[in-house]
Amino acid sequence: MKVAALFGSRSAPEAETAPAGHPSSIVKWLVLAAVVLGACGQSQHRGNAAQGSSGTATVTQPSDGGTSGGGAPGLGSAANGSGGVGAGAIAGNPNAHAGTTANAGSSGNPGIDETGGQAGEGGAPPDWDLSYAHWPMPNPVGAGLPHSASYDLTTPGLVHDNVTGLDWLRDVPPTMPWPQATAYCAGLTLAGRSDWRLPSRIELVSLVDYTQVLPAIDAAAFPSTPAEAFWTSTTGDGGYNNVREVTFVYGKTDWLNESFMGRVRCVRAEPPHGDPLARFTLTAETALDTGTGLMWPRVFTFGTDEFYSFDEAPAHCAGLVLGGFTDWRVPSIKELQTLVFEGKNNPALDPIAFPSATSEAYDYWSSNAHPMRPGWAFNVRFADGASESIPSELGERVLCVR
């Protein structure tokens, strides 16, 4: 019998050691108590092997006269509908910029304009929503997934991501609260550019190497990265812990109060060319993300028989036939996080692309086991869009991808 059959879809919060001062979660503690009493003894210890092959990302070392390649963020938010009458901007974070109404097409589904992000902050293009990925999500080298991480270190002090096109500050300044971090990046001049800013949540997630820990990042490209919480520009609904962070202990995402002394890694991107496109291309069964190229099932169901352990999830996706496709799989933790819809909770999913998603769309498995905790694996908590790790024997839902 799966644990979810007894306790529903709520599962245990991880007991992972977080950076000092990091706020703790109180979600799903009843299940954790049951699991910890029976099996936690071994899982509290550090594992000896990471899940899968970790490898090292392709890195171009500096050479005389070399320059960093540029990269446009890619596709954007508001555009013509792919058919029918297009949808206007979805209400989200009040700081976001509204998109334009999509034009009528000849047939098919409406275009989706996703809002609710941090567009326009710190030199970001005002018409491009930075709360979601406009580029393929990099995956660790050796993970057996598309878009292996690759970095160019030609320009001193700067790391250019060859997959996303983003430029990153290579060094890490001292800790600082969020308002100071925002000002620090806005005032930074490096490599002749002054358009630096704090990254959005999904931009910073793109750097996570979930096969590594302490820190969970490519150490060749980003040496001396502390295993601590890093600030993003993404904010929530005004609660006490209102700013998204990415913790590079092992790559989880969560929320912090802006007074927390967090780390900073500034980012910039070449100005995008052309008009933003619709976020999703929709059919009755699927939603194709035009930025990442990932396709997702559009219809959410919540039957009591739809809970799977981490080990059962791959077989479920491998047997899925949907939209005429049979090559479905469990998404990586980074791929799954590209679906998080900023500015909306319970669930943090696009309400037009996924209209059947309710507050029951809570925990969903990724394909990644925890590299330092045997018997634990990563998931995304779509109640608020945070990522975490939980015991892999728990029953959770699966959102397949192709």
User: What are 177-202's pLDDT values in tens digits?
Assistant: 999 999 999 999 999 999 999 999 99
Residue with tokens 């990586």: 332
Q: What is the pLDDT at residue 273?
A: 60
User: What are 344-392's pLDDT values in tens digits?
Assistant: 899 999 999 999 998 888 899 999 999 889 999 999 999 999 999 999 9
d(CA 268, CA 193): 9
Q: What is the pLDDT at residue 11?
A: 38
Task: Spell out, as residue ranges, where the chain has pLDDT lower than 70.
Answer: 1-127, 238, 272-276
How many other C-beta atoms can be found within 10 angstroms of the C-beta atom of residue 157? 11
User: Under DSSP, is residue 30 helix (H, G, I), strand (E, B) or coil?
Assistant: helix
CB 324 within 8 Å of CB 297 = no
Radius of gyration of the chain, Cα coordinates, nearest whole angstrom: 20
Beta carbons within 8 Å of 47's beta carbon, 6+ residues apart: 370, 371, 372, 373, 374
Q: What is the pLDDT at residue 21?
A: 42
Domain residue limits, the chain: 3-43+296-391
Q: What is the pLDDT at residue 276?
A: 65
